[in-house]
Amino acid sequence: MCTFYKTNEYFCAIMTNTRTRCTAIGSAPLVRERVFNSQKGTCLMVKQVKISSFSEVKNIMTAATKCLDDIGVHDTKGSIADAKSILGLMSLDYTKPVMLVSENPSELEHVFNAVC
């Protein structure tokens, strides 16, 4: 169950279930969001991005492999892939924007900038 609210800078969701529910957030393209997991006290940063070529998918994987923290990629169908896995990334639907998810905002920016 998610409770959504909007601040001046962020779209936020208070998570009362698992982290996998963060696939349900975000409708505005290219918006930075914070997802709070109330059970673990962690904050997930989410960026939505439109992928239009396979080279951009490779750029995500290359940038993610340089990160220490996990980076997840979520598509609109609810599938989740590890950004460090090319096979996982190839299984996602890129006809609509995907969401990059991480607990580390600087590493998320690094991966996001590799696409843009």
pLDDT digits (tens, 9 = 90+) for 11-63: 444 343 444 334 334 433 333 445 554 445 557 789 999 999 999 999 999 99
Q: Residue 78: left (phi > 0), alpha (psi -120 to 50), or beta?
A: left
- Comparing CA positions, the residue from 60, 75, 74 lying closest to residue 108 is 60
Amino acid type, 39: Q
Chosen CATH of 2-115 out of 3.40.50.12160, 3.30.1340.10, 2.40.50.140, 1.10.600.10: 3.30.1340.10
pLDDT of residue 116: 82
pLDDT of residue 45: 86
Please provide residue 18's backbone torsions phi and psi, each rounded to the nearest 5 degrees. Answer: -90, 170
Please state, in angstroms and rounded to a whole number, the distance separating the CA atoms of residues 13 and 26.
10
The DSSP bridge partners found for residue 82 are 72
pLDDT of residue 8: 41
Instruction: Count Cα atoms within 13 angstroms, Cβ side, for 70.
Output: 7
Q: What is the CA radius of gyration of the chain?
A: 13
- Comparing CA positions, the residue from 5, 80, 75 lying closest to residue 35 is 5
pLDDT of residue 40: 52
pLDDT of residue 42: 59
Q: What is the pLDDT of residues 68-93, one digit of tens each?
A: 999 999 999 999 999 999 999 999 99
pLDDT of residue 56: 96
pLDDT of residue 66: 96
Domain ranges of the chain: 2-115
Q: What is the DSSP-derived secondary structure letter of residue 68?
A: S
